[in-house]
Chain A
Amino acid sequence: GAVVSQHPSRVICKSGTSVKIECRSLDFQATTMFWYRQFPKKSLMLMATSNEGSKATYEQGVEKDKFLINHASLTLSTLTVTSAHPEDSSFYICSASTGPRREAFFGQGTRLTVV
């Protein structure tokens, strides 16, 4: 299957700082990338959908000014958690797809801890 690389796998940051998470499709071009948040023992919650070269589409209740998404190329999308607070601590996962009707492949996830 296709490979999606997410970095970093773990990050600890202080309250008020910003953290950037990268998601790369290594062996295919991803026209669409998705960002999820997962709470312990829960399913994946979609935060936003990003299409290369256009603004991301955020799900209801997700603050677009807090979770900045950039999808500048067909192989890279970034999620920046701005002015992080302890309640932003979570497991963030990206996925990439070759098209809107195709399979979605997931990155390894990023464990964010805000102290």
Chain B
Amino acid sequence: GQQLNQSPQSMFIQEGEDVSMNCTSSSIFNTWLWYKQDPGEGPVLLIALYKAGELTSNGRLTAQFGITRKDSFLNISASIPSDVGIYFCAGRQGAQKLVFGQGTRLTINP
């Protein structure tokens, strides 16, 4: 089936640093979604992207829908302790089901 390659799998950074993670696919997607999941909770939607080239911000978070429609990245600026968690990208082709990346586990050292 379809797969998204999300990288890195884990990140260990210092508080205040910027973070960048990305997802790539061999297939074209029409929608890219970025979620954050805290332990024992469901994923929370951070940013939704619907157009190739679209760049969208949500506070300190910025995500872009790649021009080729086969990739997307998420940046977090000036990280803070509450940014700790697992970040998932998800892509969708038209009305098809969401395909999830493997997740990026973010750990922040104070």
Contacts and interface: CB of A to CB of B under 8 A. Distances in A.
B92 A101 contact: yes
Given A43-B88, A44-B88, A101 B41 contact: no
B102 A108 contact: no
B45 A103 contact: yes
Nearest to A97: B98
A93 B43 contact: yes
Contacts of B94: 100-101
B48 interface: yes
Interface residues of B, number: 24
A34 B103 CA distance: 19
Interface size class of A (residues with CB under 8 A): 20 to 34
Interface in B22-50: 30-31, 33, 35, 40-45, 48
Nearest to B95: A100
A111 B41 CA distance: 10
Contacts of A108: 41-42
Contacts of B102: 42-43
A1 to B, nearest CB: 6
A44 B33 contact: no
Contact of A107 (B42, B98, B103): B42
B35 A101 contact: no
Nearest to B42: A106
* Interface majority SS (helix, strand, loop, mixed), chain B: loop
B66 interface: no
Contacts of A43: 88, 100-103
Nearest to A49: B97
Contacts of A95: 42
A93 B100 CA distance: 14
Contacts of A106: 35, 42-45
B18 to A, nearest CB: 24
A34 B100 CA distance: 13
A74 to B, nearest CB: 18
A91 B41 CA distance: 9
A-B CB proximity, top 6 nearest: A100-B95, A106-B42, A109-B42, A106-B43, A43-B100, A103-B48
